[in-house]
Amino acid sequence: MIHGHTERPMEQKNNVTEFVLLGLTQSLQSQKILFAVFLLVYVVIMAGDLLIVVTVVLSPALDSAMYFFLGHLSFMDAIYSNTVTPHKMKDLLHVEKTISFRACMTQLFLEHFFGGSEILLLVAMAYDRYVAI
């Protein structure tokens, strides 16, 4: 026995299975307004990102490294925008705002993975510009 340490019987484990999300506001009117704002921003971001990707892929004049990186950055941004935003918009319209532990951890992983990937791509773009100069 280590000094100062007492042995206790095994404690009961509390496993978390889902989280209750409180949201940004409790007002139903404000939630509807926020949903409209989030939806508008989400649609604009997705349309812009996908337009850039399609333009870079289909245009033979945009065949340089800068446009290659820009197309991939837009694609990553479109995926990154889909990690949390759709679930958040759904929660703004529903009364029950819960997320399972597994879904929460998946969202957290994907958000960090694609966010980190975007940063690495931006570093590669900066290095490409540095070498070009």
| CA distance to 1, 11, 12, 15, per residue, from 8 (Å) | 12, 8, 12, 20
Tens-level pLDDT at each residue, the chain (133 residues): 344 444 555 666 668 788 888 878 888 899 999 999 999 999 999 999 999 999 999 998 888 888 989 999 999 999 999 998 998 898 888 888 888 999 999 999 999 999 999 999 999 999 988 888 8
Pairing of strands 18-20, 98-100: antiparallel
- Long-range contacts (CB closer than 8 Å, 24 or more residues apart) made by 100-109: 100/17, 100/18, 100/19, 101/16, 101/17, 101/18, 101/19, 104/19, 107/83
Q: What is the pLDDT of residue 5?
A: 47
